[in-house]
Amino acid sequence: MNRSVYITRLASFLPNEPVANEEMENILGLINNQSSKAKPLILRNNQIKKRFYALDRAGNTTHTNAQLTKLAIEKLFDEKFKMSDVDVLSCGTTSPDQLLPAHAAMVHGALGAHEVEINSATGACSAGIQALKFGYLSVLAGAADNAVCAGSERFSRQMLARFFKEEAEKVKQLEGDGIIAFEKDFLRFMLSDGASAALLESKPNENGISLRIDWLEQRSFANQLPPCMYAGAVFDKDGNFTGWNDMDQPQWAAQSVFAIKQDTKLLGENIVKKGGELLRDIIKEKNLDLSTITYFLPHLSSQYFASRIEKGLADLGMDVPQSRWFTNLSWVGNVGAASPYLMLEELFHSGRLKVGDKLLMMIPESARFNYGYVLLTVV
């Protein structure tokens, strides 16, 4: 079957007004009534200037994750393509509103309309691209004529200071300072809320550009590396990784078990290295010439990694200078599974793309080191 898949529409939804660095703790609150000592270092390294929270200025919820996703998806629709035309709905997130039902089911319920095939991808940053691949393969195989794919996050609720109160009091009693471990504090000043969505079809737009998906490759390195970013689990003093359902309920609050945590040492040692090794293998397999890439769209959790990625790729003989990079981390924030879509959506509507341009997307995920690469051609 000679069939191609095209991204024909992209849309995003970012909740409320952007939050500047100096406003963050006014909304999230102070842990143990003191400003984070790590905050200045974290913000200096990540270079994020604005982010978005699905919270009002008093820290009250304004949107669920499913609502954020619904609002992004609805922007794809018009009189030519309606919700009733959707064949497949595929949604990825790190931060669903509940354990069950699945996130895509909740989004479908919010959207309403007719019965559709759904798919929920879970994980961390690559969950959105995993959702995209399901839609891509569905259309490529001829099982569907179109698919709506989305990535979304609502991290802010998990970062509110009141959810760390019990642990901070315990730390204060034991150590006298009440300062939460850096592995948790680190991500409070990294993460953002929002959603973005793409429409995939078997034919390109009749008017305006489309993005042909040339290939989408993913690889996991969980066979080599331990968990690095995690939630709903802890490492105990002996190094055993234990999930929430094997812990007693009092431990959940005492250890902030459901907070997202990051082993920054393990991250720094592997996130660039493994991504570069995979790209080297893909280049050989696909016979890809990096000099033909017009735009490189790397999902960055922090600008700290930008120069390290550039050098790491160059050291492996893969020169992708930052003059060809497109990122929006500084003014959108790190929105996890939504970030690759948010970058692509902004570039798609920027007026900068022309027919023949090639876009290479890189989506690293540190949860247990999963990576995705996508090659797109503007048609």
pLDDT mean across residues, the chain: 93
Q: Which CATH number does the domain housing residue 129 bear?
A: 3.40.47.10
Q: Are residues 13 and 47 in the same domain?
A: yes
The separation between CA 261 and the C-alpha centre of its own chain, rounded to angstroms, equals 15
Q: Of 208, 243, 278, which residue constitutes the final position of a domain? A: 208
Q: Is the pLDDT of residue 311 over 80?
A: yes
Q: What is the greatest pairwise CA distance in the chain?
A: 67
Boundary (domain end) residue, out of 177, 208, 239? 208
10 Å CB burial of residue 189 (0-12, 13-18, 19+) is buried
* 1 within some domain: no
- Is 247 part of any domain? no
Asked if 6 and 379 count as a contact pair (C-beta separation under 8 A), the reply is yes
Closest CA to 45 of 303, 306, 312, 332: 303
Residue 242 inside a domain? The answer is: no
Tell me whether residue 114 is in a domain: yes
SS3 state of residue 106: helix
Using one digit for the tens of pLDDT, what is the confidence trace for 83-133?
999 999 999 999 999 999 999 999 999 999 899 999 999 999 999 999 999
Identify the domain containing residue 24 by its residue range: 6-208
Q: Report the percent of the chain where pLDDT is more than 90.
A: 80
What band does 347 get if pLDDT is binned at 50, 70 and 90? Answer: very high
pLDDT at 177 over 80: no
As a whole number of Å, the end-to-end CA separation of the chain is 20
Q: What is the pLDDT of residues 210-235, one digit of tens each?
A: 999 999 999 999 999 999 999 999 99
Share of the chain above pLDDT 70, in %: 95
* Residue pLDDT, tens place only, 13-31: 999 999 999 999 999 999 8
- As a whole number, mean pLDDT of residues 334-358 equals 98
pLDDT at 208 over 80: yes
Residue 237 belongs to a domain: no
217 plus 197 within the same structural domain = no
Question: In whole angstroms, what is the distance from residue 128 CA to residue 166 CA?
Answer: 33
pLDDT score at 175: 63
